[in-house]
Amino acid sequence: MSNIDETKLNPGEPEIDELTKDRYLGGHEYDGIRELDNKLPRWWVYLFFATIIFAVVYLLGYHVTKWWPLQEAEYANELSVASDLKKANPDPVVDIENMIPLTTAADLEAGHATFKKICSACHGQNGEGNAVGPNFTDQYWIHGDTIAKTVTIKNLYKVVIEGATGTAMVSFKSQLSPIQIQQVLSFILSLQGTNPQNPKAPQGVKYEKIG
């Protein structure tokens, strides 16, 4: 560490900038506030030069040589990567008319994840229901097919897509893709006959054929 005060123009001399004082009317003193002509701190000067270097590199890299893509080009690149990915892994086609519950562990696991994230708030952690939503583990259903005397995944699919008017069950059409709905409903149907704690009292009609 040197003992020279770098912030002063001439180390060792008084702070007042005598040089410029005479040049302007009243010098660099206004109402007792003195304007000094101190040397800029080193870190400030280095930062200043760094910004100039940065600007030159930026200008050359982005605008002159076009080494790096600008925002719009970057966006277009990402879109084309995404569309390639989509082409390589197309969304599974869900045949709603002939839909049946999925049974593979991977599908049920994916359905369970969606259930925990979105549905359990109203239908209970284990599908037991709560003050808001109905129990999924018993044989009683509100939205079954009373004529065919069955509850199919298609009946339930309709509830998730359309919601149940006038209840807290809203449409999840914009939040979940058809395959995600099929997965979460398959998970829900797999809960039939489990006996979770604190089950909600039955609601709706009792069905023998569920699934």
Residues within the interface to ligand HEC (CB under 6 A): 118-119, 121-123, 132-134, 141-143, 156, 159-160, 164, 167-169, 172, 184, 204
Smallest separation, CB 91 to ligand HEC (Å) = 18
**Smallest separation, CB 209 to ligand HEC (Å):** 14
Separation between Cα atoms, residue 68 and residue 77, nearest integer Å: 12
Q: Which is nearer to ligand HEC, 27 or 171 (CB)?
A: 171
Residue 62: CB minimum distance to ligand HEC, A: 45
Q: How far is the CB of 211 from ligand HEC (least distance, A)?
A: 13
Determine the Cα–Cα distance for residues 138 and 150; give it in Å rounded to an integer: 14
156 or 191: CB nearest ligand HEC: 156
Q: Which is nearer to ligand HEC, 196 or 204 (CB)?
A: 204
Is there a contact between 138 and 189 (Cβ–Cβ < 8 Å)?
no
What CA–CA distance (Å, rounded) separates 69 from 71? 7
Q: Are 187 and 111 in contact (CB under 8 A)?
A: yes
Instruction: Yes or no: say if 175 and 165 are a contact pair by the CB < 8 Å rule.
Output: no
Which lies closer to ligand HEC via its Cβ, residue 47 or residue 121? 121
Taking the least distance from each CB to ligand HEC, the nearer of 17 and 136 is 136
How buried is 68 (Cβ within 10 angstroms: 0-12 exposed, 13-18 middle, 19+ buried)? exposed
Q: Give the shortest CB-154-to-ligand HEC separation in angstroms.
A: 11
